[in-house]
Amino acid sequence: MTDPIDVTRRTALAIGSVGAIGGALALAACSTDDSGRGPNATTTPTPPPSVTDEAPEEPTAAPDAPPADGDIAALADVPVGGSIDASIDGEPALLAQPTAGQVVAFSAICTHQKCVVAAAGPEFHCPCHGSKFDAATGEVIRGPALEPLAPIPVAVVGDKIVAAS
């Protein structure tokens, strides 16, 4: 037969053990905040750095040759064998002069994901994903772009480059 005092002692020990475990859990719960601001302090999680493959929304190249009185640029502004950034009807464009007196123009909107392509001598370069285009033809030299830049009709009138629509 069990001694009633012994049962009481065992019960007290059991209760004491549960209390000790509960206390330890409570301390553990409080100890997760090591910020020194106490258990009621709120924390704002820091968002992870964003990595995106999306195209930026802002144009990346400013026109070198702003239009004056409807002219797109002066012929002398475009180096023979080279190219410049421009603006045609308020849209970013590219001008090239593959041979003396022959001027071509293209939309500067990349055919990949619509970044603004920049003049780079005999080529046009997209800063977003590295596509390269031939400045004389607008054709893709290197992707990821697959389609050529859209041509814009222009003409040389005197020493000016003008829209030819």
Task: Rule CB under 6 A: say whether 132 interacts with ligand FES.
Answer: no
Residue 106: how many other CB atoms lie within 10 Å: 26
Task: Rule CB under 6 A: say whether 115 interacts with ligand FES.
Answer: yes
Task: Rule CB under 6 A: say whether 55 interacts with ligand FES.
Answer: yes
Q: At 39, which amino acid appears?
A: P
DSSP state of 64: S
DSSP state of 40: T
> Given candidates 113, 136, 160, 163, which one binds ligand FES under the rule CB under 6 A?
113
92 preceded by a cis bond (ω within 30 of 0): no
Task: Rule CB under 6 A: say whether 144 interacts with ligand FES.
Answer: yes
Task: Rule CB under 6 A: say whether 131 interacts with ligand FES.
Answer: yes
Nearer residue to ligand FES within complex by CB, 86 or 108: 108
Q: At 112, which amino acid appears?
A: H
Task: Rule CB under 6 A: say whether 118 interacts with ligand FES.
Answer: no
> Given candidates 67, 112, 124, 138, which one binds ligand FES under the rule CB under 6 A?
112
CA dist 105 and 120 (Å) reads 14
Q: At 111, which amino acid appears?
A: T
Q: What are phi and psi of 106, to 5 degrees?
A: -140, 155
Task: Rule CB under 6 A: say whether 125 interacts with ligand FES.
Answer: no
> Given candidates 86, 145, 152, 161, which one binds ligand FES under the rule CB under 6 A?
145
Distance of CA 142 to CAs 5, 78, 81, 126, Å?
A: 90, 24, 19, 10
Compute how many residues bind ligand FES; rule: CB under 6 A: 11
Nearer residue to ligand FES within complex by CB, 152 or 161: 152
Chain contacts with ligand FES (rule: CB under 6 A):
55, 110, 112-113, 115, 126, 128-129, 131, 144-145
